[in-house]
Amino acid sequence: MSNKNISIIFTGQGSQHESMGIELIQSMEWVKHRYEISSDILGYDVIKTQSDPTKINLTQFSQPLIFIYSSILIDLFKKSFSKTILENNISLAGHSLGEYSALYFSNALDFESMLRLVSLRGNSMANVSDPNKFGMFAILTKEKINTEIFNEDVFLANINSDKQVVICGTKKDLEDFKEKNKIGKYIPLNVSAPFHSKLMEDSSNIFLSSAKNFTFKDSSYDLISNHNLINYKNLNTKDYSKQLAKQIFSTVEWSSTINNFISNGTNDFYEIGPKKTLLNFLPRKDEIKTYTFCSFEDIDNYV
């Protein structure tokens, strides 16, 4: 068991839903207390906010809401598997916002500090938000996507798998691109900013101006960043905030991250977050085993 390679991956923005944490609040006092602390830190009632359909999908709210719930799942996961999974060779990665959950799992910041950092990120990224100007599309294809077709006007935001990428840009540029490149199914995403593109550089600078004041601890595990697949264990903690700032305007290299985990002998993948999303991007191989830790039902099966 001790030689087993396990990867734990963390869900990002888009996985939020209004029932996050409700059942856990009702059954665990410390979870209720965490939501109370979170409301004090953020300056608004977390549960009321995630129940408000006009707010839950806004970046400045959805990012901290997702992290709060993910942090609770992380703490329950660690408690449940302290003498089994956590004694194995563990590697971590999070998709976009999920990188912050991965850092929390890896003990880089305590909960309160990480929530403040996530809130800073959400607010910084919301500065570029304009639903009338910007858009994002997921592209689903049957064949491997040739990424060379993307240009300086349409940006490659996420490479989720060989057959799914996410693009962003102005709505006009995206529509022009769709007309010229009928390569698969285009699915519009419910976002209002061009995430993970050079159009987010101002947001990155705003974020870094405050994020550089956070004091990180060394990552306890191998943790692969979305930006250039850099391992946080190979970074000085003073550079963590710089890495996170670059991640805001860089392509999420998710497919390469997963392929690296598999090539290093990982067959067991656990997903932690509000919804099962990332496990769907894994290659379909008999030797790959997947597990979710996303809901009250999942937790009840282990705790």
Residues paired with residue 134 on neighbouring β-strands, in sequence order? 170
Task: Indicate left, alpha or beta for 228 from its phi (over 0: left) and psi (-120 to 50: alpha).
Answer: left
**Radius of gyration from C-alpha coordinates of the chain:** 19
Rounded to whole angstroms, how far apart are CA atoms 248 and 194?
Answer: 10
Burial of 190 (0-12, 13-18, 19+ CB in 10 A): exposed
CA of 38: how far to CAs of 66, 272, 273, 293, in Å?
Answer: 12, 20, 17, 22
Measured in whole angstroms, how far is the alpha carbon of residue 195 from the centre of its chain? 12
- Write the single-letter amino acid at 76: L
Closest CA to 212 of 239, 233, 246: 239
Dihedrals φ, ψ of 205, to 5°?
-70, -40
Contact 269, 288 (CB under 8 A): yes
Active site residues: 96, 196
**Number of residues that this document lists for the chain:** 303
